Amino acid sequence: MKVIFLDSNKLDHLRNTINHDAEFKLAARYMSEDILLEADDSRCIFKVRDGVLTEINLGPSSDDHWSFSIKATAESWEKLLQSSPSPFYTGLNAGLIRGILQITGNEEVAFAYLWAMNRMLDIMRQTS
């Protein structure tokens, strides 16, 4: 299974699904941030502006900036994105507590929008 946010064939559908989700719209209504998602050596940036996911950049360069990053192994992302995840892979909170993933950068902003990020994770599960 390829990690959905790294699958170029599914990005438009994923972005549209996230942008049409009422819970994400509510959770992200004030969010204007760039989020780096990392799976092993693969990286992408989710650009959110005023609660709308405007772009998913699969080829970020060193010139691209982000507010915070969420990093995990590809294996951990696959477990996090299963439709029925096993214990400790049910959300970002559990992953952080168990050391499965890391949040770096502006942690204050990351935690302010953790609900929106967890909703994004739920949508990725439904879409994959």
Q: How many domains does the chain have?
A: 1
**pLDDT more than 90, % of the chain:** 84
How much is the pLDDT for 6? 80
23 lies in which domain range?
A: 4-127
Walk across the sheet containing 33-39 and list its strands: 52-57, 42-49, 33-39, 68-72, 101-105
* Number of Cβ within a 10 Å radius of residue 12: 10
CATH code at position 40: 3.30.1050.10
In the predicted structure, residue 1 carries a pLDDT above the cut 60: no
Please work out, in degrees rounded to the nearest 5, the angle formed at the alpha carbon of residue 46 by the alpha carbons of 93 and 31: 70
In 3D, which of 26, 34, 15 has the Cα closest to residue 109?
Answer: 34
Across the chain, mean pLDDT equals 93
The residues with which 93 forms a beta bridge, in sequence order, are: none
pLDDT digits (tens, 9 = 90+) for 57-104: 998 998 999 999 999 999 999 999 999 999 989 999 999 999 999 999
* DSSP for 1-62, written as a single string: ---GGG-TTTHHHHHHHHHT-HHHHHHTTT--EEEEEEETTEEEEEEEETTEEEEEESS--T
Please work out, in degrees rounded to the nearest 5, the angle formed at the alpha carbon of residue 14 by the alpha carbons of 47 and 45: 25
How much is the pLDDT for 70? 97
